[in-house]
Amino acid sequence: MNDACDVAVVGAGPAGLVAAIEAARAGLSVTVVDEFPWPGGRLLGQLYTDPRSHGRWDGRKISRQLAQEAGELGVRILGGATVWAVGRDLSLELSGVPVGTLRPQALLLATGAAERALPVPGWTKPGVVCVGAAQTFTNVHHVAIGRRVLVAGIDPLALSVAMEMHHAGVDVAGVVLPPVSTTSGALASPERAVARLADVADLAPNGLLRAAARLAAGKLSPLAVSALRFDLVRVGGVSIGFRTALVAVEGDGRVESATLRSVAPDGTLVGPERRIEVDAVCISAGLYPLTDLAEIAGCPMVEVEELGGLVPLHGPGLETPLERLFVAGNLTGIEGAKVAIAQGRQAGCSIARSLGRATLVSPEDAARAVSDARTSSPFRFQPRIAAGRAAMAELWQQAIARGDQSA
Ligand SMILES: Cc1cc2nc3c(=O)[nH]c(=O)nc-3n(C[C@H](O)[C@H](O)[C@H](O)COP(=O)(O)OP(=O)(O)OC[C@H]3O[C@@H](n4cnc5c(N)ncnc54)[C@H](O)[C@@H]3O)c2cc1C
């Protein structure tokens, strides 16, 4: 393959698909490349009730609709193709179903996020999975990861997936904290777990998360934080151990049990170990932006903790300092799918304008839609996301002042 197009998009998640639709609407030829065979990205695993609209958020259905809309506008979607290099001229090297080079005028990177790993003694045994895998098995393939599952990690995504498994008939033995270690950091702290949940109290997309979050919010008076007496809260049939941590996974060739210990409010392990029988353990340790292609492209990178770590430097229209290179979605900071969709629209419009095309959506309206999506999103992965976005705006202004910006 040796093809040219106006716009190439890497990532057929919500950000990439919506950007492709918007660019195609402006009359541009668009090719979307994704290493997964089907379009949708992380949307494919999402299935929950949206408390704002009181409707069902069915990510597979939304993915199908977006892919169909893109197809009707003439967008070419190449599934099963990995982009392994980006040239300084924005050309893409592909391997997989098609092998070859794609030469676009403009490039959008919408490569999404990856899960952080969290080593625990025994974590390499068959039966230990990351929370994203549990979500995909449950909601996409309708396969139970085990008969009795322990979830380690108390955060919105972990509680959401625990509830989804519970609804699917899996016996969820409990949701507990990960162990204190150099990699778990704040994730192992009961206080921080409570604060993370309190932050999403009104937005949470399922009963377990909503109840746990409200409980946490109610307990967040200064004294209550240090008290944290509510270990093993049972909500909707699932136990949450705010003061319990997973310390090891055991089994002969596969997961057979997990060892737990109590923790003090600051996360220090206390008291004796106890063992519970489980045949699967699901670990949730947070997400980070998948930046490798942006780095290969030569885009300046900046560390913004509130956005999830290292991210490409980008401006208010999702442009980067490299001419005609744009970024959108979780690559710019970890947020929910609604924000990714709004950012996709914004990036698609910015790309069209950079190639001299008119768009129906003004830059101001596109930016407003992103903030509205942020406010109404049922998922808030990064508690200080607004501060992160403000920090990026500041870094962008500094780059312009230094004369770094060429977009
Ligand atoms: C494990 C996990 C679970 C999540 N669960 C939820 C949830 O329940 N609700 C929610 O709102 N948000 C969830 N999110 C956040 C989620 O990422 C956003 O909702 C949304 O899907 C982000 O959209 P995106 O388009 O930026 O990226 P994604 O949807 O992640 O799509 C990125 C796409 O890029 C492709 N890609 C990456 N690199 C390459 C390459 N080199 N070559 C070719 N293709 C490539 C990937 O295959 C993927 O399809 C989750 C994220 C993760 C990682």
Give me ligand 1 centre to Cα 14, in Å. Answer: 8
Q: Taking residues 375-392, what's their average pLDDT?
A: 87
379 C-beta closer than 6 A to ligand 1: yes
Q: Is the CB of 8 under 6 A from ligand 1?
A: no
- Is residue 42 within 6 Å of ligand 1 at its C-beta? yes
Decide if pLDDT at 230 tops 60: no
Checking if the pLDDT of 200 tops 60, the result is no
Q: Can you say how many angstroms the Cα of residue 18 is from the centroid of all Cα atoms in its chain?
A: 17
Q: Is the pLDDT of residue 208 over 90?
A: no
Confidence of residue 163 (pLDDT cuts 50, 70, 90): confident
Predicted local distance difference test score (pLDDT) of residue 313? 98
Q: What is the pLDDT of residues 285-317, one digit of tens each?
A: 989 999 999 999 999 999 999 999 999 999 999
pLDDT at residue 405, as a whole number:
54
Convert the pLDDT of each residue in 15-40 to its tens digit. Answer: 999 999 999 999 999 999 999 999 99
Ranges for all domains in the chain classified under CATH 3.50.50.60 = 2-114+287-402, 117-283
At 294 the pLDDT is 97
Residue 94: per-residue pLDDT: 96
Instruction: For domain 2-114+287-402, give the fold.
Output: FAD/NAD(P)-binding domain (3.50.50)
- Contacting residues for 168 by C-beta, under 8 A, at least 6 apart: 138, 142, 144
What are the Cα distances from residue 245, in Å, to 189, 206, 232, 362? 10, 23, 11, 49
Q: Report which residue type is found at 351.
A: I
CA-16 nearest atom, ligand 1: 25
**Residue 143 has what pLDDT?**
95
**CB distance 336 to ligand 1 below 6 Å:** yes
The ligand 1 atom nearest the CA atom of 133 = 1
Q: Is pLDDT larger for residue 97 or for residue 206? A: 97
Distance 13 CA to ligand 1 centre (A): 6
**CATH number attached to the domain at 117-283:** 3.50.50.60
Q: Does position 392 have pLDDT exceeding 90, yes or no?
A: yes
Residue nearest to ligand 1 atom 2, measured at CA:
132
Percentage of the chain exceeding pLDDT 70: 88
Higher-pLDDT residue of 198 and 249 is 249
What is the mean predicted confidence (pLDDT) over 48-57? 70
pLDDT at 152 over 70: yes
Q: pTM of the predicted model, to two decimals?
A: 0.90
pLDDT band at 224 (very low <50, low <70, confident <90, very high): very low
Least confident of 25-39, 150-164, 272-286: 150-164
> Which residue among 18, 21, 42 is best mutated to probe the pocket of ligand 1, counting the most ligand atoms within 8 A of its Cβ?
42
Nearest 5°: the CA angle 24, 338, 135 is: 110
Answer whether residue 371 shows pLDDT above 80.
yes
The vertex-274 CA angle with 269 and 219, nearest 5°, equals 55
Nearest CA to ligand 1 atom 39: 111
Q: What's the rounded Cα separation, in Å, for the pair 196 and 299?
A: 32
Where residue 237 falls among pLDDT bands split at 50, 70, 90? confident
Average pLDDT along the chain: 88
Rounded average pLDDT over 152-176: 90
Tokens of 401: 């002042």
User: Read out DSSP for 247-291?
Assistant: EEEE-SSS--EEEEEEE-TTS-EEEEEEEEE-SEEEE---EEE--
Q: Which tens digits make up the pLDDT trace of 189-198?
A: 777 777 766 6
369: confidence class by pLDDT, cuts 50, 70, 90: very high
Cα 44 to averaged position of ligand 1 atoms, centre (Å)? 9
Q: 110: Cβ below 6 Å to ligand 1?
A: yes
Q: Whose CA is nearest to atom 44 of ligand 1?
A: 34
Residue 337 C-alpha to ligand 1 middle, in angstroms? 8
Q: Is 287 in the pocket of ligand 1 (CB under 6 A)?
A: yes
Mean pLDDT, range 373-400, rounded to an integer: 89
Q: Name the residue with tokens 């950091």.
A: 185
